[in-house]
Chains A and B, each alone.
Chain A
């Protein structure tokens, strides 16, 4: 048994002649966190708090003193801070995690500077350019950091830039194409993430990061198809449906391979929502609402039951 939980020890202690010391020992080695784990947790927690609070402190300082400061003071202060923060990354003898946290703070500061620029020079309508520039000017940092939170910020920025591009520049594209493009973009990130983490053992990509990406892909698929069904944009919807079909098939195959309940439940619930909107679109009356309600209740019950059985089976295999 690889993964001993608190419940397992509890169960064994009642049905065996283990002494109290034995139980304590096994709890300590298997369940309780060590001093090092707590230390690194606190280092990460306090580090994130420090970076987050410093950046928001600057933003609030500028916002409160907006009228009292000359524009060059506002820009100069923030630029100076960015240089100082980046200098800290380069000079101080700090561990990799803290350094990456500071680099993430610096990446937020670049965004804050662009926001400041937009406010001072009243370029509010130009948000596509600002987001594009923000994305471009943290790319190198993201690439060398190997740090999942920074990558997440980067992916959010790429998505935002793409959205703004479609809204502000490429206005002739049909709206429903947005979902196709977003899905392609995020599934490329997800699939390369999975491939990299499996092929290259030197790089560890945290599970929460991949799960967040998978959640984003599933949300885009679900929303895109549900809205597409109501909009009747047939060709674009067809592209989206084929993309989603391929992705979901890959997802199920991969989930069964690595015994992941997360991907399976994600896909199942996404399919339930899509099926419900399809049903609701066929007939728009009270009977259909009742039917959709019954469908949702029963399909969710069945899915949860199935997933529980699967989880039990996989737990025994390990």
Chain B
């Protein structure tokens, strides 16, 4: 094998590993230092949504709003109650303005009726679906820029389902 090919193979591997582990670091950082926000799951009969090894999620907040006036991408501003459950305050296009006690969650408009935060399904091992049927809240970890990561499902006592 020619020498430059060797170098390119190594270079590609190195670039990939750098990028991939940076992604992992980013997510871990968000999980460690992000603020936990509980979003009420929309009552769309969770049992029928069980499909093999994942559960599709719909959050309750956006359901009450008229999306026609919203821009394609933006931020959802929420305020938390004492248990960490989010209540929607408003939608906005930029990360500012932001009052104290308010948190940002980045959203994207799927179509005229649906918003997504990037975590619309929850994956788990096969055969574990019963455990997750009692889920009432989706727990998102959010950072100051509105990036969010689904960290787990929570039951009605706001306890994480493990």
Contacts and interface: CB of A to CB of B under 8 A. Distances in A.
B115 to A, nearest CB: 11
B5 interface: yes
B54 A124 contact: yes
Interface stretch (A75-83, A152-160, A259-267, A294-302): A75-83
Contacts of B13: 82-83, 86
A230 B149 CA distance: 42
Interface residues of A, number: 32
Contacts of B116: 125
A144 B54 contact: no
A117 B20 contact: yes
Interface residues of B, number: 32
Given A86-B13, A121-B27, A140 B8 contact: yes
Contacts of A82: 13
Contacts, number: 69
Interface in B91-131: 111, 116, 118-123, 125, 128
A109 to B, nearest CB: 10
Contact of A67 (B10, B128, B150, B151): B128
Interchain residue pairs A-B with the least CB separation, the first 6:
A140-B12, A122-B150, A66-B125, A137-B16, A124-B121, A121-B27
Interface of A: 66-67, 75, 79, 82-83, 86, 89-90, 96, 99, 103, 110, 113-114, 117, 119, 121-126, 133, 137-141, 143-144, 171
Given A86-B10, A103-B9, 20 more contacts: A67-B128, A75-B24, A79-B20, A79-B21, A83-B17, A90-B10, A113-B20, A114-B20, A122-B123, A123-B119, A124-B119, A124-B120, A125-B116, A125-B119, A133-B19, A137-B12, A137-B19, A140-B9, A141-B8, A144-B8
